Amino acid sequence: MYDRLKGFRDFYPGEMSARREVVDAVETAAARYGFREIGTPHLERTQMYVDKSGEEIVEELYAFEDKGGREVTLAPELTPTVARMVVAKQQALSKPIKWVSTRPFWRYEQVQQGRFREFYQTNADIFGSSEPEADAEILAFCADALTDLGLTADDFEFRVSHRDILGGLLRSFDADVDVADAVRAVDKSEKVERAEYLGLLSDAGLSYDQAGEFADLIERGDLDEIAEFGGDDVAAAVENLRSVLAAADDFGAGEFCEVSLSTARGLDYYTGVVFECFDSTGDVSRATFGGGRYDDLIESFGGQPTPAVGVGIGNATLQLLCQRAGVWPEEELATDYYLLTVGDTRAVASDIARDLRAAGNVVEVDVSDRSFGAQMSYADSVNADTVVIVGERDLENDEVTVKDMASGDQTTVPVDEFPGDRDAPTYEDYE
């Protein structure tokens, strides 16, 4: 026997049916907003991630040299790939560019709740608009996807922040601050004790007193106070944040949003509004997903300056939220019809199966030459709603037997009337 690799998962049919239902709901919500599906390679050049994140990123990658001597890696995220794609055809693409995809990614990191080495995300991005409406549309799409799954405002919240507010506040102190390090400290603030948090800010260049003042400012979250303290740049960022929130309110997502300046998103490429989705009850301790604006990335990949905003919705953490809220789909098989054959009746059963499938039904027919009892047990195991018994004796009378599996009731039906002109006939149609 071979063991499954650590951090990788198997999904059996029941699990996959639930996952497919959730992914379909998210992708359908994206499609309603005009996001167009793209497909992307699973293998990319390692240097693309090194250029974006530094040499240390290689330790987190499934990176190797291929047979052509190229340094390549299994993709750990989508943003660099879509940036590369935009640059490749930037002049030919209509703006705004709105793309969505669902696919696996790989990172060699510590396995923990909701975090695996192979993970699946739905990513949605808008390129070519710097307007607040673009940020708000990402929030609105996410809100629609979650409510379509049965979640409500009591179940989740979007904690919305702005990287330029944080950066501007940090620069307003009389200190030589490494803004990137300080923002990463903010991103960790809710996971560590206050003393450790202030220590991280001090390591980034603030004095201990300045670190405390900064931490208190963003914890209070008074945008008027923050705009006055930080000067013109911070005031402009505050105005942009308010404009995004106003647009989100108009788009129907305002009730899910709250200002949370301790939400920072650790990646360096974020430039404006950022947000994370959290379980409102706190039972799921980590962010369900997050996103934000990254206006400089396309230019850093060699393209023309192009504003961008996006989100990555992780399947594993979304599952935790849905399960906590009791809306994760049942992990079970679903079968509309099972055609049970007795004797030499394959031709007739196949005709019925083809008609039912043509109408969009899920239909199974015995392919293992099993007994009547074994076929009935199998039909029950795949949750068949209706069993159609096609037996030699019934066919002598030009009939089949239709059995409702929930009630156990059954009746005979003329073979030329099943399915007849009905797309999904049931026992009740003939009783």
Residue ranges at the known binding site for L-histidine: 77-79, 107, 121, 125, 265, 269-270
Strand partners, 112: 115
Tokens of 216: 């208190």
Q: Pick out the residues of the known binding site.
A: 77-79, 107, 121, 125, 265, 269-270
- CB-count exposure of residue 44 (10 Å: 0-12, 13-18, 19+): buried
How far, in Å, CA of 153 to CA of 157, rounded? 7
Maximum distance among all alpha carbons in the chain? 96
411, β-bridge pairs = 402
Q: Which two tokens stand for residue 132?
A: 């607040």
263, two tokens: 């939400």
Residues in the chain: 431
Exposure string (b/e) for 225-262, b if CB count within 10 Å is 16 or more? Answer: ebbebbeebbbebbebbebbbebbeebebbebbebbbb
Instruction: Give dist(CA 258, CA 244) in Å, integer.
Output: 12
Interatomic CA distance for residues 235 and 224, integer angstroms: 8
DSSP annotation of 5 reads P
Collapsing DSSP states into helix, strand and coil, what is residue 313?
strand
Task: Please give the backbone phi and psi of residue 96, each rounded to the nearest 5 degrees, phi first.
Answer: -75, 150
> In the beta sheet, which residues pair with residue 115?
112
Are the beta carbons of 345 and 391 closer than 8 angstroms?
yes
Pairwise CA distance, residues 46 & 60, whole Å: 11
Chain centroid, CA 254 distance in Å: 20
